[in-house]
Each structure stands twice: as C-alpha cells, then as structure tokens.
Structure 1
Amino acid sequence: MSTTVFRTARPEDVPALVDLVQSAYRGDRSRAGWTTEADLLDGQRTDAEMVRAALTGPGNVVLVSEAGGAVVACCQLERRDTYAYFGMFAVDPARQGGGFGAALLAEAERYAGDEWAAAEVRMTVIVQREDLIAWYVRHGYTRTGELGPFPYGDERFGVPRRPDLAFETLVKKVR
C-alpha cells in the first residue's frame, strides 16, 4: 500500500465517488475485486444525487482515501444518537486486498469516536455476503442477528437477482 491520505470528500469528488462505488459492487468491473454484488444485484449501487446527499446531509461526512493523487476508497458516516452509521464503503477493485479498506475503516472508527464521541459504529450488510461479513468480524465487528428488509422495488439501490435478500446489523464499540 502506497502512502495514503485521508480527507473529507468535496462536491467536486461526486463523479469519482459514484464511479468508485459502482465499480466496487456492480457490473463486470466489480468482478476484479472480491466485494462484488454482481451475482446478487444488477443496476446501480448509488448515483450522483445520493452521493451529494451523503456529502451535505446533516450529521454526515464522507471520508476518502487517496493514493498517488487518486481517490481509491470511500465511506460515509452518519451521526445518530450514540452511534455512527457506516455505509457507502468502497475500494477500487484493482486495489482490494492491499490494505486500503482496512485503513479507511480504522480511520472511520477513529473519526466516529474522537470527533463525534460515538460509542459504537453500526452498519448493515446483505446477509448473503458471508465473505464480507467475515471480513468485518475479523476487524472487530459483532453480528447482532438483527435483520432488516432489502428495499425491493426501489431501483436506486439495485435490481435484485433473488427474492431473499436482507440486511444484518453489525456493531463495534469504538469508545
């Protein structure tokens, strides 16, 4: 992993962030990495409107990781009560497995605890993504068994390829 710089995303980053998130999860480009959801979902993972909302929404921050002047990873934190919600996590498929994701996850946890005094970080992961859930567990997250529905019918989040998708909440104490 080359020298990594963390920063908050800016409005001019929106096109690059949409492309990064899409490339990490959907379509043929996503198959270059291990985080693809291409076998579970078609369509988009995010769009410019959703990324702009993540940048400007109250209690939101989008963190990016840069290497060699290029955005190689991103995530969103949303401040909620006593915890931070972690989402929109993406790493350039060609750089997955190089430590960029783990480094950005650690930075997001630090940010949530130090900047917001959040007690924990929570996220939701599609339950069928056992490899991804296992990665989070190796990074200190706990499976809660709390399940939530996938937003079937809302194509902003993709077009499901199967009828049984659901989200599980994962949690990690950061303070």
Structure 2
Amino acid sequence: MTSSTENPLQFTVQVLQPSQYQELKRTIYEIINVSFRSDDSWTNDRAFVNVNRIPINGEAEFDARCAEPNALLCAFDGDQIVGVIHILAQRNEALLNCLGVSPTHQSRGVGSLLIRESVKHIQENMPTIKEALVHVFESRHELTTWYVRMGFQDKGEVIPFPHGDILIVDEAPLAVLRYPIL
C-alpha cells in the first residue's frame, strides 16, 4: 500500500498496487456498476445509458487504464470496499472518473473523501498535472452542484457524450468541471 489515509468517519483510502487490484477487481467492478445502475443510488445514470459502467467486454480496457501513471483509489469501511475513484493522467490534466460509492455508503462522506484524496495523490505524485477534471451529464444539476461544492469550477464547457451507441436518449452532453491543482 502506497497510501492510506483515515478520516473522522473511520473510512480509509488506499491507492491500490497492481497485485491488490488483481485481487479486488471483481469487487471494484461491482461497486462502480452498482453505483451507476442501482435505483438506490442518487448517482445512477439509467436515464441516459443502457449498460453497466464497466461492461464485461470492457474489463480488459479498464484494467489497462489502471496501470501507472494512472491510479485507482479505494475507500474502505473496515476491510470492505465501499468506494472507488480512477485517476487517468492525460498530458497536463487528470480525469477523475468512475467515482463510485456503494449505495449503502452514499451521503456519508465517502465520495468527498475520495475526491480530496485523489487531488492529494495528484499533487504528491503527478507533478505535470495542472488540473483535475470530471465529466458530468449536463442535465444532472445535483451532481454538478456537488462537484462545485468540492471545489470544481463550472465554466460552461460542454462536450458530446463519447459513446453515443449506448445512449437511450437522443443526446446527453457532458459538462466538464475543472479543479486547479496547486
């Protein structure tokens, strides 16, 4: 384990090493998928797409994207994974994606802890990164508001959803929210 941080809520966050990832990846896929597909999750995207966030045929691609210099952080409640976030380094930016929190642990500070620890990891380990960014369905105002409270800036930047073949709506543009890395 390269990093382990505790918070007052007793959740810990770890940057997973490749061996840990291999051991835990099924649980990681499940956390990510349930957080985006469950009716119990306030972050579900079922109104926009009709597939799991990490479909079975996409697991190898996700596995490859978890290799260095990228990072995968997991939040634990004891020894149980309750949250995940992926950092994808791209030139001087880092895309924070696949932020997933188990519906049983949502609204308990796990997501904000993962965001804070991701920013800290970028600051300490990715010196060329100047901004972290997230993509949020533009119509999901409650998610945009949450990220803005976390320190992200919404400057009105919008991009098309890159996987139009899985949309169940005509279009679902993504708002690009940016967080300056100091």
- Normalising by structure 2, what TM-score? 0.85
CA offsets 1:108-148 (integer angstroms, 9 cap, x no match): 01111121122221121111211111100111111132222
Segments of structure 1 that go 5 or more residues without pairing to the other structure are: 154-158
Listed as ranges, the matches of 1:22-171 within 5 Å are 22-26=33-37, 30-47=38-55, 48-56=59-67, 58-117=68-127, 118-150=129-161, 151-153=163-165, 159-171=166-178
Matches of 1:13 and 1:129 in 2, distance apart? 30
| Matched-pair identity in % | 20
- Normalising by structure 1, what TM-score? 0.88
> In the comparison of the two structures, how many residue pairs are matched?
166
Matches of 1:116 and 1:34 in 2, distance apart? 31
Q: The residue matched to 1:50 in structure 2 has which SS?
A: helix
- Tell me which stretches of 4 or more aligned residues in structure 1 moved more than 4 Å: none
Q: Supply the AA of the counterpart residue of 2:90.
A: R
Root-mean-square deviation (CA), in Å? 1.5
Matches of 1:149 and 1:62 in 2, distance apart? 25
Residue range with higher mean Cα deviation, 99-108 or 46-55: 46-55
Q: Supply the AA of the counterpart residue of 2:164.
A: Y
Answer 1 or 2: higher relative contact order, Cα 8 Å, separation at least 6. 1
Aligned to 1:6: 13
